[in-house]
């Protein structure tokens, strides 16, 4: 009898690889540990600095960001100084999952972020059941599946994790909700596997992502947002509790898959304490350009702070409107400047130059003046120091031209900043800008780290650990290749170490 899937991929969104390894060594994640032993394993390579907004589209499509057009849920709207919400249907490149389905294979996807699967008799998709970024209500293909999903898994017990405030009771509920969600996610996976056999089955666990952002300080007494009540109410390590729930779910799914499937398990990228100066970036850029802070900014920031103190249930229906109201005055101001900050995940900073011919009211000439200004900004940003430590607050500044080569280069920031995540940054200072406090409205206590980890288990592969790293764009082509499907015209290529010997010519 065939197993429920020929090729399966289970992704552990933002599960920090160093914690996975540490807890495997301590015997705390038995199922992941067993897989690690039985697999060919490798580190992974994500797009540099801005990886957290770009890796899912790159994973799904097998192309680097300049070709798929996505780096953040809010991106600059070319033709204006406003921002637009980026949705999966705005991706300019089709996913590899569709190439696999088009070859006649049966494909099932569960909560894979930013993945769009064509609706055919051979495909099944559950989207937004319990994803970290909640863009839409639960969406299922075929539509009749929705009822079954609700019967098997119920409603996502967590919802938008970013509406949770850093209060012990609320974090306790979040932790319990994430443990519950990981368990029900495995129930859902088993129900979908029963509808098999699938040629390709892809499932994402999002729980480590939400836990990493919101629960990081609860396990770290040195974190500035740590509260003693955390320990009493949430236990010693709430993050470990969530990882263990994922591990139990993983174990149940792996058991159902049996030994015959080719199984890829991917810890996409990591997590660490959220130490950055993202909230001060636009003020730094204004001072560098000799511009005063607009008069409206103070009252807007005060109202925003008050808004963020309200319970999540009050904010939830209005959160998109609040974004628009917050950004409105900024939009008009951007038109008057030479360079400004654009939204990124706080994990990195993005700067866009107001270029003549690209922006509607450009102030910077393209060509040499643009490059000279980029060079100068890079030097100035690298000279910022963390006032608490005297150490540079920025470790790298990279150019959009290098990172986002491709037809959508102009949708991306021109400079991308990597913050120094080693220590909290209460304020930044440099000779030119003086001292600027970092007052972040973002309550998250953890944020991403770039390194990922991938395991491939198959009867035709001898377990071992590989040196080097594997590009995120190579993973989906590898899954396709295991089914004999060649994905053409993309940046990624199948990983030979994950293919049977006879394919490695």
> What residues line the site for Zn ion (CB under 5 A)?
132, 161, 210
Q: Strand order in 415-419's β-sheet?
A: 339-342, 348-353, 415-419, 394-399
Q: Which is nearer to Zn ion, 148 or 170 (CB)?
A: 170
Least distance to Zn ion, CB of residue 62, Å: 22
Least distance to Zn ion, CB of residue 45, Å: 18
Q: Is 234 helix (H, G, I), strand (E, B) or coil?
A: helix
Sign of dihedral through CA atoms 373, 374, 377, 383?
A: negative
Q: Which is nearer to Zn ion, 133 or 190 (CB)?
A: 133
213, 161 in Cβ contact below 8 A?
Answer: yes
Q: Which is nearer to Zn ion, 50 or 261 (CB)?
A: 50
Q: Which is nearer to Zn ion, 13 or 199 (CB)?
A: 13
Least distance to Zn ion, CB of residue 213, Å: 6
Least distance to Zn ion, CB of residue 479, Å: 24
265, 237 in Cβ contact below 8 A?
Answer: no
Q: Estimate the share of the chain in helix, then strand, then coil, as percent rounded to the nearest 5.
A: 40, 20, 40
Q: What DSSP element (H or E) covers 288?
A: helix 281-288
Least distance to Zn ion, CB of residue 158, Å: 7
Sign of dihedral through CA atoms 157, 178, 35, 62?
A: positive
Q: Which is nearer to Zn ion, 132 or 184 (CB)?
A: 132
- The pairing of strands 123-127 and 107-110 is parallel
Q: Which is nearer to Zn ion, 210 or 265 (CB)?
A: 210
Q: Which is nearer to Zn ion, 131 or 237 (CB)?
A: 131
464, 37 in Cβ contact below 8 A?
Answer: no
Torsion of the alpha carbons at 5, 6, 11 and 12, rounded to the nearest 10: 70
Least distance to Zn ion, CB of residue 184, Å: 16
Least distance to Zn ion, CB of residue 249, Å: 17
């Amino acid at each position: 009898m065939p197993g429920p899937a020929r090729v399966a991929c289970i992704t552990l969104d933002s599960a920090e690889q160093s914690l996975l390894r540490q807890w495997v060594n301590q015997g705390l994640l038995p199922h992941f540990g067993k897989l690690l032993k039985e697999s060919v394993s490798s580190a992974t390579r994500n797009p540099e600095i801005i990886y957290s907004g770009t890796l899912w589209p790159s994973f799904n499509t097998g192309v680097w960001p300049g070709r798929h057009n996505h780096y953040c849920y809010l991106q600059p709207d070319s033709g204006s100084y406003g921002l637009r919400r980026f949705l999966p249907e705005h991706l300019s490149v089709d996913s590899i999952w569709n190439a696999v389905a088009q070859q006649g294979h049966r494909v099932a996807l569960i909560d894979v972020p930013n993945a769009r699967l064509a609706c055919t008799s051979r495909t099944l998709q559950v989207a937004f059941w319990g994803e970290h970024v909640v863009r839409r209500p639960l969406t299922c293909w075929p539509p009749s599946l929705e009822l079954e999903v609700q019967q098997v898994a119920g409603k996502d017990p967590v919802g938008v994790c970013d509406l949770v405030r850093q209060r012990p009771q609320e974090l306790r509920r979040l932790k319990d909700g994430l443990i519950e969600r990981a368990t029900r996610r495995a129930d859902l996976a088993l129900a979908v596997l029963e509808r098999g056999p699938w040629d390709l089955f892809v499932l994402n666990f999002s729980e480590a992502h939400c836990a990493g952002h919101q629960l990081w300080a609860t396990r770290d007494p040195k974190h500035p947002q740590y509260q003693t009540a955390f320990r009493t109410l949430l236990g010693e390590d709430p993050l470990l509790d969530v990882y263990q729930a994922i591990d139990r779910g993983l174990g149940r799914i792996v058991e159902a898959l049996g030994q015959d499937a080719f199984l890829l398990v991917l810890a996409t990228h990591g997590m660490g304490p959220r130490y950055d100066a993202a909230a001060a970036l636009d003020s730094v850029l204004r001072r560098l350009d000799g511009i005063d802070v607009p008069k409206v900014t103070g009252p807007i920031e005060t109202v925003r702070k008050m808004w963020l103190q309200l319970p999540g249930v009050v904010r939830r229906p209005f959160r998109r409107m609040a974004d628009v109201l917050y950004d409105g005055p900024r939009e008009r101001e951007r038109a008057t400047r030479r360079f400004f900050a654009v939204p990124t995940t706080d994990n990195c900073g993005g700067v866009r130059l107001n270029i003549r011919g690209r922006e509607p009211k450009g102030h910077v000439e393209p060509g040499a003046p643009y490059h000279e200004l980029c060079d100068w900004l890079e030097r100035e940003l690298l000279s910022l120091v963390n006032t608490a430590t005297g150490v540079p607050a920025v470790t790298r500044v990279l150019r959009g031209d290098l990172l986002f080569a491709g037809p959508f280069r102009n949708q991306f920031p021109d400079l991308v900043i990597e913050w120094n995540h080693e220590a909290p940054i209460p304020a930044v200072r440099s000779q030119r800008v003086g001292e600027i406090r970092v007052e972040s409205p973002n309550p998250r206590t953890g944020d991403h780290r770039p390194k990922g980890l991938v395991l491939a288990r198959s009867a035709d592969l001898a377990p071992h650990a590989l040196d080097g790293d594997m590009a995120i764009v190579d993973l989906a082509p590898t899954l396709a290749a295991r089914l004999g499907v060649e994905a053409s015209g993309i940046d990624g290529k199948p990983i030979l170490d994950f293919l049977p010997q006879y394919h490695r010519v």
